[in-house]
């Protein structure tokens, strides 16, 4: 037995070694932060570090926050934990003792839950003047719009059985029988956005539309990946229409190999639901002023222009320049379908239950 | 000794599991316990609970059947590639479900199994087959390791007394293998009981289990009360089933003479054919999706190329660090999680074997529980519990290997306990009579016999950490702590052939790294004389 204990001792040593490796891994990044351009504010000791909570899909270019740190001396520590739903639910559970100062990535489908849980404290950024009115959903300024995009059906141009679909009704046309794949609104955010789109369009008649979709052979997957890469032509599937994003065609161009001139996919703009992502100062932060400065930075052009090619959504600040691929192949719906966050939260459960009855029973 | 060894596992379990989970359940049901009653009587919930139970039972039984031939061959016969086979079965364990799901669907398409009456996609069969694919390794390695060390004297004696080989197998071998079989099957059961992505991706939108329902209520709907009620049901079911398992095991605990590897070379044509069929059959089942995956990783724009691999060295767009850094991160977390599982699981096993009464039973059931508990319950529980002072681990690096270690500990305990229980006290006495010092006895018998099981268990803990995607997704991570499964998920989340190819290549690298580490682990057998 003593030998087993000796083995434990060796492993303990190994664990300690691992930890020290981990901490030495961390120190270079601290040094790197100190290597940043000389700070304008000399009062180094009082520079706060803000924690920015995000969802897992949040991504910015290297060093974007360095400009912010150089200008304000405030450091930013990013922490991602799960998808937007996980992030908002976790924040609601920890509202008395938040894990972060600022949250990014709560969207209009989850916004009301965040507001009801009193996650945020108001902050009115001066840069809101650059943001279109339609994106500003909270009159009390508890959250600030940062980016937006459209969730829309995409089609594979060369594989359509008939003409390119142009309206929601084309999806229930027999020509497109067994061609459309979308996601379960209970497990997927584009799937939920599409359910909301049909409710926004057809009102009380939405169950009939979905019944027609079922009769026309719609396929339902759990998430975006298994729809786009599983059943859609893109991944070797046999369906030519998939629920995705208005920005998917530019992504197809940017991440093509060998390079291609034009995307293989097109967007059914009539099906688009607008998704807006917000940032907010979390109630209970010890640094509300610094947190407000971070919101300003995220709405500024440096950060805003970094958004499209990293997260494949559009900057909320209308002064921000779009990259070329977005100018050429990306497009937004002129009149996207929308719904107020309050209406979404109030009916989420009833609608999804009814959807399950119609589509899955 | 049992008491001393039980202290650390008890504290670890209490702080990192019992307290957070109890706290979350209290948060959900403390004010209003009625939700629990509604869950237990609601027709939809009862259907979900029933489906969860039966699919886990069916998956476990099917895993046992599919794993049996390969387990027999690896335990009893020496053949070329035996060591490699033992390592390769572990590979499916770490593959992200999204990737495996895609490979399965591709295989089904190729054999025309996606249409008509043969349609496999979105059926319960797809769930069962995927569960078998992921779990064959647990049976092959745990039972196979135990079996290969079992002496053959008793079977030979039975046959000398007139029993046929089949009678000897049924009457002598099976009862002696039972503790190890029960152990590994209880792990498989818990694993499939709480399976999440397989159910969602392969089972289709109509099927849900307690695990997927907890996620739906807690995360999509933000209803912690219902999620907590479902968690209570889940944990109660797990405790009941584990207790039943212990009780069944209690009757069959028997000591055997465990020695080094007792496998013999396959002799004669018939035996060679049997081994080839056993290895080839299970092997083919495990290999097909993996081969599809490798093929996909080599494909770019219709050509076969290594481009997807070569581009991983550079910083891939959409990833905050290079793919190789992600591999390094995963290895680091894996090593830490395996270390935790080794220390806590190893001490836990000693406590379970040598401990007394209540403590022994509590640890025996308790150390299994994290495997049977929802990732949501544990993840959210940690968030609202370990949030003060030095225990504020919510955004600490440490919480990741701790959470993964919790899930790895049962593998260590369940591999080691049957082996340690089976050590025949007369072996130690005989060694002492023959002049061995007490130290030699411990080194030559306990360590030599127990190490292989320990290594097997720790190997699983490591592999779980590499592939884990559930509970850790609730823990705040900074961008430079990106792990391989997260990187794959992110690459597959944006359209584009390039990203997809890189995701496939990264999955293959994850397989290779796992296989390499498990291979090295398998060779670390102090005093094992180079067998296997």
What is the domain-level CATH number for residue A237?
A: 3.40.190.10
Taking CB atoms and an 8 Å limit, are A257 and B498 in contact across chains? yes
Mutate to test the interface with B, among A14, A81, A100, A190 (most CBs of B within 10 A): A81
B473/A1 touch (CB, cutoff 8 Å), yes or no: no
Contact A222 B384 (CB under 8 A): no
Question: Whose structure tokens read 């009301």?
Answer: A112
Across chain A, mean pLDDT equals 87
Reported confidence tier of residue A26, pLDDT bands at 50, 70, 90:
very low
Question: In whole angstroms, what is the distance from residue A127 CA to residue A104 CA?
Answer: 17
Nearest CA in chain B to A90: B380
The answer to whether residue A164 sits within a structural domain is: yes
A355 and A249 in one domain? yes
B217 closest CA partner among B82, B72, B42: B42
Residues of A in contact with B500 (CB under 8 A): 229, 235
Q: Which of B332, B451, B474 sits opposite A82 (nearest CB)?
A: B474
pLDDT at B215: 92
Q: Do B200 and A222 touch (CB under 8 A)?
A: yes
CB–CB contact B339 A11 (8 Å):
yes
Q: Do B346 and A99 touch (CB under 8 A)?
A: no
Contact residues, chain B, for A79 at CB < 8 Å: 395, 476-478
pLDDT of residue A295: 97
Residues A64 and A130 in one domain: yes
Expressed as residue numbers, the domain containing A354 is 150-273+329-360
Taking the CA of residue B338 and the nearest CA in chain A, the distance in Å comes to 9
Report CB contact under 8 Å: A90, B380: yes
Does residue A194 share a domain with residue A289? no
What's the pLDDT tens digit per position in B370-388? 989 998 999 899 889 988 8
Contacts of A223 in chain B (CB under 8 A): 200-201
Is A8 in contact with B347 (Cβ distance < 8 A)?
yes
**CA–CA min distance B164, chain A (Å):** 39
What's the whole-number mean pLDDT along residues A92-115? Answer: 94
User: Same domain for A267 and A184?
Assistant: yes
Residue B244 pLDDT: 84
Of B397, B495, B499, which is closest to A22 when you measure between CB atoms?
B397
- Chain B positions touching A218 (Cβ under 8 A) are none
User: Is A38 within a domain?
Assistant: yes
- Distance in Å, alpha carbon of A129 to nearest chain B alpha carbon: 30
Residues A280 and A308 reside in one and the same domain: yes
Residue of A nearest to B204 (CA): A221
Cis peptide before A258 (omega within 30 of 0): yes
Contact at CB, B442 and A2, closer than 8 angstroms: yes
Mean pLDDT of A26-44: 40
A72 and A181 together in one domain: no
Question: How far, rounded to the nearest angstrom, does the alpha carbon of residue A120 sit from its chain's CA centroid?
Answer: 19
Q: Do B300 and A257 touch (CB under 8 A)?
A: yes
Chain A interface, best mutation among B208, B303, B495, by max A CB count within 10 A: B495
> What's the confidence (pLDDT) of residue A32?
37
Least CB-CB distance to A59: which of B318, B478, B497?
B318
Say whether B443 and A3 touch across the interface (CB within 8 A): yes
Residue B113: CB partners within 8 Å, gap ≥ 6? B107, B119, B120
DSSP secondary structure string for all residues of B152-221: SHHHHHHHHTT--HHHHIIIIIHHHHHHHHHHHHHHHHHHHHT--HHHHHHH-TT---HHHHHHIIIIIS
| Nearest residue, CB atoms, A224 vs list B218, B454, B493 | B493
Alpha-carbon span B342 to A8, nearest angstrom: 7
Does residue A138 sit in the same domain as residue A48? yes
Residues of A in contact with B350 (CB under 8 A): 1, 4
CB contacts, 8 Å: B383 with chain A: 90, 93-94, 99
pLDDT band at A234 (very low <50, low <70, confident <90, very high): confident
Tokens, residue A129: 């003047």
Interface contact flag, B493 A235, Cβ < 8 Å: no
Report, as an integer, the average pLDDT of A111-122.
96
Alpha-carbon distances, residue B213 vs B45, B59, B139, B291 (angstroms): 9, 19, 28, 33
Q: Which residues of B touch A236 (CB under 8 A)?
A: 106, 109
User: Nearest CA of chain B to the CA of A301: how many Å?
Assistant: 20
Residue of A nearest to B334 (CA): A18
Q: List, in sequence order, the alpha helices (H) in B251-371.
A: 268-297, 307-310, 323-354, 357-366
CATH superfamily of B2-523: MetI-like (1.10.3720.10)
Of A135-139, A232-236, B170-174, B216-220, highest mean pLDDT = A135-139
ipTM for the complex shown = 0.84
Task: Confirm whether A240 is domain-assigned.
Answer: yes
Domain segments of chain B as ranges: 2-523
**Confidence (pLDDT) at B224:** 92
Residue A24 falls within a domain, yes or no?
Answer: no
Instruction: Give the pLDDT score at B292.
Output: 87
The Cα of A308 is separated from the nearest Cα of chain B by a number of Å equal to 11
Instruction: Indicate whether A211 and A353 sit together in one domain.
Output: yes
Same domain (yes/no): A185, A132 = no
Tell me the shortest Cα–Cα distance from B401 to chain A, in angstroms: 11
Residue A23: predicted pLDDT: 41
A11, closest residue in chain B (CA to CA): B339
> Same structural domain for residues A295 and A266?
no
Q: What's the rounded Cα separation, in Å, for the pair A224 and B494? A: 9
What pLDDT sits at residue B149? 82
CB contact under 8 A, B476 and A53: yes
Q: How many CB pairs lie under 8 A apart between chains A and B?
A: 193
Residue A193 reports pLDDT greater than 90: yes
| A chain contacts of residue B346, beta-carbon cutoff 8 Å | 4, 7-8
Q: How far B273 CA lies from chain A's nearest CA (Å)?
A: 38
Name the residue among A59, A80, A244 with its Cβ closest to that of B476: A80
> What is the predicted pLDDT for the residue at A40?
43
Q: Do A19 and B380 count as a contact with CB atoms less than 8 A apart?
A: no
Nearest residue of chain B to residue A112 (CA atoms): B222
| Same domain, residue pair A283 and A339 | no
**A324 domain residue, yes or no:** no
Reading the block at residue B486, the tokens are 């997260």
Q: What pLDDT shows up at residue B175? A: 87
Smallest Cβ–Cβ distance between A251 and the set B212, B478, B494 belongs to B494
In this complex, do B495 and A224 lie within 8 Å of one another by their Cβ atoms? Answer: no
Q: Do B346 and A7 touch (CB under 8 A)?
A: yes
Burial of B114-135, coded b for 16+ CB within 10 Å and e otherwise, reads: beeeeebbbebbbbbbbbbbbb
Q: Tell me: the pLDDT tens digits for B469-501?
A: 777 777 778 888 888 888 888 888 888 888 888
* DSSP assignment letter at A125: -
CB contact under 8 A, B101 and A229: no
Clarify whether residues A245 and A343 are in a common domain: yes
Give me the residue label for tokens 């009620």.
B229
- 3-class SS of residue B353: helix
Residue with tokens 């003792």: A97
**How do residues A206-217 score in pLDDT, each as one tens digit?**
999 999 999 999
Domain count, chain A: 2
Q: How far apart are CA B397 and CA B415, in angstroms?
A: 28
In-domain check, residue A320: no
Q: How many angstroms separate the Cα of A191 from the Cα of each of A227, A243, B214, B419?
A: 10, 7, 19, 50
Strand ranges, E, within A62-214:
75-80, 102-107, 120-121, 144-156, 180-183
Written as tens digits, the pLDDT of chain B (532 aa) is 556 778 899 999 999 999 999 999 999 998 888 889 888 888 889 999 999 999 999 999 999 999 999 999 988 888 888 888 888 888 887 788 778 877 877 777 777 666 666 667 778 888 999 999 999 999 998 899 889 888 888 888 888 888 888 888 888 888 888 888 988 999 999 999 998 888 888 888 888 999 999 999 999 888 999 999 999 999 999 999 888 887 776 654 555 666 667 778 877 888 888 888 888 888 888 888 888 889 888 987 777 888 888 888 776 677 888 888 888 999 999 999 999 999 999 999 888 887 777 888 888 889 989 989 998 999 899 889 988 877 788 877 788 889 889 989 998 998 888 888 877 777 777 888 888 887 777 667 767 778 878 888 898 899 888 887 777 777 778 888 888 888 888 888 888 888 888 888 998 998 888 888 888 887 765 444 333 3
Best mutation target among A184, A226, A352, A356 (most B Cβ atoms within 10 Å) is A226
pLDDT digits (tens, 9 = 90+) for A302-312: 999 999 988 99
Q: What is the pLDDT of residue A8?
A: 46
From B213's Cα to the closest Cα of chain A, the distance in A is 10
Question: How many beta carbons lie within 10 A of that of residue B514, not counting itself?
Answer: 27
Q: Please list every residue in chain B whose beta carbon sits closer than 8 Å to the beta carbon of residue A99.
A: 383, 387, 394-395, 476
């Amino acid at each position: 037995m003593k030998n087993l204990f000796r083995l434990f001792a060796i492993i303990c040593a190994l664990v300690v070694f691992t930890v020290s490796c981990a901490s030495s891994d961390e120190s270079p990044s601290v040094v790197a932060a100190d290597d940043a351009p000389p700070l304008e504010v000399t009062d180094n000791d009082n520079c706060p570090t803000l924690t920015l909570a995000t969802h897992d899909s949040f991504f910015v270019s290297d060093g974007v926050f360095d400009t912010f740190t150089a200008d304000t001396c405030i450091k930013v520590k990013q922490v991602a934990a799960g998808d937007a739903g996980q992030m908002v639910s976790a924040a609601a559970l920890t509202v008395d003792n938040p894990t972060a100062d600022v949250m990014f990535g709560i969207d209009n489908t989850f916004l009301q839950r965040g507001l009801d849980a009193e996650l945020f404290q108001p902050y009115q950024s001066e840069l809101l003047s650059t943001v279109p009115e339609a994106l500003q959903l909270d009159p009390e300024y508890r959250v600030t719009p940062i980016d937006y995009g459209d969730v829309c059906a995409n089609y594979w141009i060369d594989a359509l059985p008939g003409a390119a679909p142009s309206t929601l009704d084309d999806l229930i046309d027999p020509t497109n029988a067994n061609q459309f794949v979308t996601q379960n609104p209970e497990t997927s955010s584009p799937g939920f956005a599409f359910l909301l789109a049909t409710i926004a369009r057809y009102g009380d008649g939405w169950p009939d539309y979905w019944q027609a979709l079922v009769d026309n052979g719609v396929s339902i997957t759990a998430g975006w990946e298994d729809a786009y890469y599983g059943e859609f032509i893109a991944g070797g599937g046999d369906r030519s229409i998939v629920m995705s994003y208005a920005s998917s065609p530019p992504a197809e161009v940017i991440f093509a190999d060998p390079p291609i001139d034009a995307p293989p996919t097109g967007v059914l703009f009539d099906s688009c639901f607008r998704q807006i992502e917000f940032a907010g100062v979390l109630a209970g932060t010890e640094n509300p002023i610094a947190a407000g400065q971070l919101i300003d930075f995220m709405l500024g052009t440096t950060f805003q222009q970094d958004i499209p090619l990293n997260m494949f959504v559009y900057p909320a600040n209308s002064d921000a320049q779009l990259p070329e691929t977005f100018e050429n192949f990306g497009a937004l719906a002129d009149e996207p379908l929308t719904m107020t966050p309050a209406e979404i939260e109030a009916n989420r459960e009833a609608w999804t239950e009814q959807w399950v009855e119609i589509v899955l029973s | 000794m049992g008491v001393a060894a039980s202290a650390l596992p008890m504290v670890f379990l209490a702080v990192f599991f019992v307290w957070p989970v109890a706290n979350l359940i209290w948060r959900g049901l403390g004010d209003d316990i009625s939700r629990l009653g509604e869950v237990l009587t609601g027709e939809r919930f009862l259907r979900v609970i029933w489906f969860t139970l039966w699919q886990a039972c069916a998956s476990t039984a099917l895993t046992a059947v599919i794993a049996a031939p390969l387990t027999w061959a690896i335990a009893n016969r020496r053949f070329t590639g035996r060591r490699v086979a033992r390592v390769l079965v572990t590979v499916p364990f770490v593959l992200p479900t999204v990737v495996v799901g895609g490979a399965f669907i591709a295989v089904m398409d190729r054999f025309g199994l996606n249409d008509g009456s043969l349609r496999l996609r979105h059926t319960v069969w797809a769930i069962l087959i995927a569960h078998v694919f992921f779990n064959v390794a647990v049976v092959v390695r745990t039972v196979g390791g135990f079996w290969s060390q079992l002496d053959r004297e008793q079977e030979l004696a039975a046959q000398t007394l007139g029993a046929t080989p089949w009678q000897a197998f049924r009457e002598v071998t099976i009862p002696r293998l039972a503790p190890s079989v029960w152990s590994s099957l209880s792990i498989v059961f818990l694993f499939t009981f709480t399976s999440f992505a397989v159910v969602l991706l392969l089972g289709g939108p109509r099927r849900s289990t307690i695990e997927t329902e907890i996620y739906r209520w807690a995360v999509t709907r933000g209803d912690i009360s219902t999620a907590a009620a479902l968690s209570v049901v889940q944990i109660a079911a797990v405790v009941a089933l584990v207790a039943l398992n212990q009780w069944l095991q209690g009757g069959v605990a028997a000591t055997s003479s465990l020695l080094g590897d007792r496998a013999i070379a396959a002799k004669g044509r018939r035996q060679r054919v049997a081994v080839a069929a056993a290895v080839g059959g299970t092997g083919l089942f495990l290999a097909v999706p993996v081969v599809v995956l490798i093929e996909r990783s080599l494909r770019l724009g219709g050509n076969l190329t290594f481009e997807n691999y070569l581009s991983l060295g550079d910083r891939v767009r959409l990833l905050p660090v290079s793919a190789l850094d992600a591999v390094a991160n995963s290895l680091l977390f894996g090593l830490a999680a395996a270390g935790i599982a080794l220390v806590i699981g190893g001490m836990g096993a000693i406590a379970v074997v040598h401990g007394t009464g209540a403590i022994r039973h509590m640890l025996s059931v308790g150390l299994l529980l994290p495997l049977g508990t929802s990732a949501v319950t544990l993840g959210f529980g940690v968030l609202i519990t370990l949030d003060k002072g030095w225990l504020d681990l919510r955004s600490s690096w440490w919480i990741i290997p701790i959470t993964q270690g919790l899930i790895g500990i049962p593998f260590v305990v369940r591999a080691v306990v049957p082996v340690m229980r089976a050590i025949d006290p007369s072996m130690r006495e005989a060694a002492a009579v023959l002049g061995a010092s007490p130290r030699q006895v411990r080194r030559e018998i306990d360590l030599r016999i127990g190490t292989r099981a320990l290594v097997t268990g720790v190997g699983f803990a490591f592999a779980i950490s590499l592939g884990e995607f559930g509970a850790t997704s609730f823990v705040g991570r900074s961008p430079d702590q990106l792990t391989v499964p997260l990187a794959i998920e992110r690459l597959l989340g944006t359209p584009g052939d390039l990203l997809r190819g890189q995701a496939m290549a990264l999955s293959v690298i994850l397989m290779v790294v796992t296989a390499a580490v498990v291979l090295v682990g398998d060779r670390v057998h102090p005093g094992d004389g180079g067998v296997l």
